Structure 1
């Protein structure tokens, strides 16, 4: 996912997902202290101001796409909250049984909520929103993407969940999250990696670029073996791409030894490398005096769709 793609899509912000929606409040009896008993069937008051809601009345976001929280950074945030309070309110929604139990469900701001609990705060400032499950999940994904908090596997699982639980197409997911369709497709392809390799990507031991290069192998055993070699030799993404192509086309190696190729123009080589990194596929440019052809190899429908999307085909 390029920086340009990210900046172009994420400028909308969370509020653009919920234009003109009212914000329900809660009775003071449930927000003044974490130990207060909620009233039965409270009557909500419409207000646009943040409320102090008891931290114990807030449940975790079921659509949270981030699975890892840095405990050291949480401790730092807790110290900051102890000293200065929560600067930016979290965002919550009414639980399905709010009228009976007065509880809320997080939409965004889980780190601030967790740090507030660590800091021993009884309440946390929160904006209450009336949103559907789809909107809540969209807001969660957008916020995390804006803050660059998701690793590639977390993003892949987030898109998969949008597809599985809300039956969104890749086009719809791209539109809702401000990404390109090719970017969404590339993240979803990561789920085809063997579980062991997915764990390496999630831990940051392998980058998104490494993962895309390894996916060209398709065979799980070959991918795991290649991933181990990348780790052992600390290969760059470009070296990984070369290694993978050598595995896929071993027959090309003798030809290189017997018949050296003509020098490739640096501009052509650079364009070829850019296309390889952009598509995550094998690309070859054959150029003779400004004329030639571009060969793009694909190994499945998803690869073919990504090529069409990159060419501007809707």
Structure 2
């Protein structure tokens, strides 16, 4: 039964005020933001993002990093970085970087506190693949860094060279050639990393029989600033010192077409190749020093 002491108009007015001014809920402490993997950027605090454990690049150009920091100060981060939730995200709310380390470092230099980020749900294998592919596409890795990247895929995730080639967009022979660079002596790898020797120089030197010979030849190449072609000739002279004596004797000059084919095969395979031709008949001799070299030969022949 309605209470006669309560004015119906007053009751209606009170209801209207309640609907216009709803009671406030108690303020709760903010919990870690779990970003939905929708592909939409989210501003994430820089101090909540950990470095990518699968990063294959070991050096960054400080001058270019400073230039990027100035650009970020002026225009912000144009392209979001990619992150994933850390292993203890529910406890600490931390993220792990996947791609975009230069943007992350430059943002810190620029004094930013947050950075636009896209959160992805990916496995360790996928995160490592994304890191390697990004760096390979940007051509920021030196040949030795690329070699170590492929080596990690093989060692830690048991990928075959065919699988690595498919995932990174490289052909099988290229993957094999990068991995072969790790057979170089450490001192020569340092020269390749520093840019004093190119990938082509390194491939030519690998034809030499042992570490000492490779190191000696590498010192000569850098001292004389030899081209890749000159380095190939140097290596061939070291492998076949008797050829120089034969050249002093009167002899029939080799067919330039055969010689050119021999040089092309040697550059393509990175192995010692000899063509013995007699009036259009003969044999092609390809020397290899391991299973990887043999696989590279088979791959080239299947093309």
* TM-score strictly above 0.5: yes
For the pair 1:279 / 2:269, whether they are aligned, the reply is: yes
Report the Cα distance in structure 2 between the residues aligned to 1:45 and 1:176, rounded to whole angstroms: 26
Is the Cα–Cα contact under 8 Å of residues 38 and 101 in structure 1 kept in the other structure? no
Report the Cα distance in structure 2 between the residues aligned to 1:272 and 1:38, rounded to whole angstroms: 70
Report the Cα distance in structure 2 between the residues aligned to 1:43 and 1:115, rounded to whole angstroms: 25
Which deviates more, 246-255 or 157-166?
246-255
Of the candidates 178, 182, 186, which is equivalent to residue 177 of structure 2? Answer: 186
**DSSP 3-state at the match of 2:140:** coil
Return closer, same or farther for 1:111/1:38 CA change in 2, 3 Å cut-off. farther
Is the Cα–Cα contact under 8 Å of residues 92 and 106 in structure 1 kept in the other structure? yes
Report the Cα distance in structure 2 between the residues aligned to 1:169 and 1:150, rounded to whole angstroms: 21
The structure that has the greater radius of gyration is 2
Report the Cα distance in structure 2 between the residues aligned to 1:48 and 1:106, rounded to whole angstroms: 15
Report the Cα distance in structure 1 between the residues aligned to 2:124 and 2:177, rounded to whole angstroms: 25
For the pair 1:39 / 2:31, whether they are aligned, the reply is: yes
Of the candidates 141, 162, 172, which is equivalent to residue 150 of structure 1? Answer: 141
Please list, as runs of the form range in 1=range in 2, the aligned pairs for 1:1-314 lying within 5 A after superposition.
39=31, 44-45=35-36, 47-265=38-256, 267-288=257-278, 290-312=280-302
Question: Once superposed, what is the RMSD of the aligned Cα atoms?
Answer: 1.8
Return closer, same or farther for 1:45/1:131 CA change in 2, 3 Å cut-off. closer
Report the Cα distance in structure 2 between the residues aligned to 1:301 and 1:210, rounded to whole angstroms: 22
Structure 2 residue aligned with 1:16: none
Is the Cα–Cα contact under 8 Å of residues 91 and 128 in structure 1 kept in the other structure? yes
Deviation of the 1:288 alpha carbon = 4.9
How many correspondences in the alignment? 275
Deviation of the 1:38 alpha carbon = 6.8
**DSSP 3-state at the match of 1:48:** coil
Structure 1 residue aligned with 2:17: none
**DSSP 3-state at the match of 1:311:** helix
Report the Cα distance in structure 2 between the residues aligned to 1:182 and 1:46, rounded to whole angstroms: 36
Which deviates more, 268-277 or 105-114?
268-277
Deviation of the 1:261 alpha carbon = 3.8
Report the Cα distance in structure 2 between the residues aligned to 1:187 and 1:43, rounded to whole angstroms: 39
TM-score (norm 2): 0.86
Q: Deviations over 1:101-148 (max 9, x none)?
A: 101111100000100000001100010000000000000011011111
**DSSP 3-state at the match of 2:116:** strand
Report the Cα distance in structure 2 between the residues aligned to 1:236 and 1:123, rounded to whole angstroms: 47
Report the Cα distance in structure 2 between the residues aligned to 1:258 and 1:196, rounded to whole angstroms: 39
Report the Cα distance in structure 1 between the residues aligned to 2:277 and 2:34, rounded to whole angstroms: 73
Is the Cα–Cα contact under 8 Å of residues 49 and 94 in structure 2 kept in the other structure? yes
**Higher relative CO (CA 8 A, sep ≥ 6), structure 1 or 2?**
1
Gaps of at least 5 residues in structure 1 are 1-36
Structure 2 residue aligned with 1:10: none
Is the Cα–Cα contact under 8 Å of residues 35 and 119 in structure 2 kept in the other structure? no
Gaps of at least 5 residues in structure 2 are 1-28
TM-score (norm 1): 0.83
Report the Cα distance in structure 2 between the residues aligned to 1:230 and 1:151, rounded to whole angstroms: 19
